[in-house]
């Protein structure tokens, strides 16, 4: 499925089989998750690294010798820049991202640098494993920025939040889920996964939060989340793209509140979460679509027509 021009639908196309370079694996795609980043690229809100482009960076695939691997968003880091040298390959100056700079998994075949592929726990099916590779991972990295916060808000309850809610509950935290105002269905979905409270993003939670994770791409949620966290609390913006943040009084940040973003992932994040996932266990709610219906999956994501995560199956 090719993105030829941002703002236009993905198109089914037959392209030459990819040829692995030294160090790359030739992979048969079994499943590929659909991420909001794919939608941002499709809609022209994030610049593609090349055109035409094959999207998809939550790839479960098999190697030519039959091994199952996961291919995440971080497709390459140089290993030598000052970020890589200090354990922050997610910020690598030469990073290349799957499904943005490198053709991704909305395809039957792909190639990936073996050093950036992740081992997947046997307990998880292909469809269950795929959404962990970005939604789960970014959620995990964002959660790790919250220290030992007990009362944890989550703004936007889609792929990432519904997976990481289960991890947070497993760790003994209380989850407060914020959805679009009036979205009773998603609020019930959040409660079914252990959220202590669920309500609209315009509602006041019943208790002050220790930290909040913002997954929805709406800048207006930043002052809302700062307002909801207690002194000393942290607000983490976990998305790659967000509408502009409205100005807000300094009082909302005062009292040692922290506002930060989370960008990309490291392979260490991947290994941590994929080890933890079967122990929780994380049960991902998945809607599958045939590969040819990638555009419909993106449209349903944009409109919020499914709970949890969408996965394309070739």
Binding residues for Zn ion, rule: CB under 5 A, are: 35, 37, 77-78, 81, 84, 92, 134
Q: Based on CB atoms, which residue is closest to Zn ion, 224 or 240?
A: 240
**Rounded CA separation 310/301 (Å):** 8
State the nearest-atom distance from the C-beta of 277 to Zn ion, in Å. 17
Q: DSSP character for 91?
A: G
Q: Would you say 85 or 279 has its CB closer to Zn ion?
A: 85
Smallest distance, Zn ion to C-beta of residue 78, A: 4
For residue 225, the tally of other CB atoms under 10 A from its CB is 27
- The nearer residue to Zn ion, 105 or 205, going by C-beta atoms, is 105
Contact of 223 with 252, CB cutoff 8 Å: yes
Could you tell me the smallest distance in angstroms from the CB atom of residue 20 to Zn ion? Answer: 22
Q: How far apart are CA 21 and CA 281, in angstroms?
A: 36
User: CA quadruple 145, 48, 135, 299: dihedral positive or negative?
Assistant: positive
H or E segment and range at residue 34: strand 24-34
Contact 146, 213 (CB under 8 A): yes
> Between 94 and 184, whose beta carbon lies closer to Zn ion?
94
Q: Please say which residue, 46 or 146, places its beta carbon nearer to Zn ion.
A: 46
Least Å distance, CB 23 to Zn ion, is 16
**CB 109 → Zn ion: shortest distance, Å?**
21
* Distant-in-sequence, close-in-space partners of 7: CB < 8 Å, separation ≥ 6: 42, 43, 44
Nearest CA among 28, 14, 97 for reference residue 62: 28
Contact predicate 151/213, CB 8 Å: no
Q: Between residues 84 and 236, which has the closer beta carbon with respect to Zn ion?
A: 84
Rounded to a whole number of angstroms, the minimum distance from the CB of residue 162 to Zn ion is 15
């Amino acid at each position: 499925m090719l993105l030829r021009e941002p703002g236009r639908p993905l198109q089914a196309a037959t392209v030459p089989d990819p040829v692995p370079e030294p160090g790359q694996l030739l992979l048969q795609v079994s499943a590929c998750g659909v991420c909001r980043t794919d939608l941002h690229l499709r809609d022209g809100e994030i610049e593609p690294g090349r055109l035409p482009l094959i999207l998809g960076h939550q790839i479960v695939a098999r190697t030519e010798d039959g091994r199952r691997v996961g291919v995440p968003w971080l497709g390459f880091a140089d290993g030598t820049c000052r970020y890589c040298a200090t354990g922050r390959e997610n910020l690598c100056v030469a990073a290349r991202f799957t499904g943005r700079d490198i053709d991704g998994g909305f395809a039957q075949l792909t190639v990936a640098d073996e050093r950036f592929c992740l081992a997947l726990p046997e307990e998880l099916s292909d469809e269950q494993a795929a959404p962990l590779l970005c939604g789960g991972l970014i959620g995990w990295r964002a959660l790790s920025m919250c220290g030992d916060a007990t009362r944890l808000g989550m703004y936007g309850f889609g792929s990432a939040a519904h997976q990481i809610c289960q991890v947070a509950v497993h760790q003994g935290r209380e989850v407060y889920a914020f959805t679009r105002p009036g979205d009773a269905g998603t609020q019930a979905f959040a409660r079914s996964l252990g959220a202590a409270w669920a309500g609209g993003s315009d509602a006041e939670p019943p208790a002050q939060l220790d930290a909040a994770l913002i997954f929805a791409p709406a800048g207006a949620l930043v002052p809302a989340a700062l307002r909801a966290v207690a002194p000393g609390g942290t607000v983490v913006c976990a998305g790659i793209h967000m509408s502009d943040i409205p100005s807000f009084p300094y009082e909302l940040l005062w009292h040692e509140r922290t506002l930060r973003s989370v960008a990309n992932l490291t392979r260490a994040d991947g290994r941590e979460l994929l080890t933890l996932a079967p122990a929780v266990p994380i049960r991902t709610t998945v809607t599958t679509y045939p590969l040819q219906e990638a555009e419909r999956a993106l449209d349903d994501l944009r409109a919020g027509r499914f709970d949890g995560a969408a996965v394309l199956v070739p």
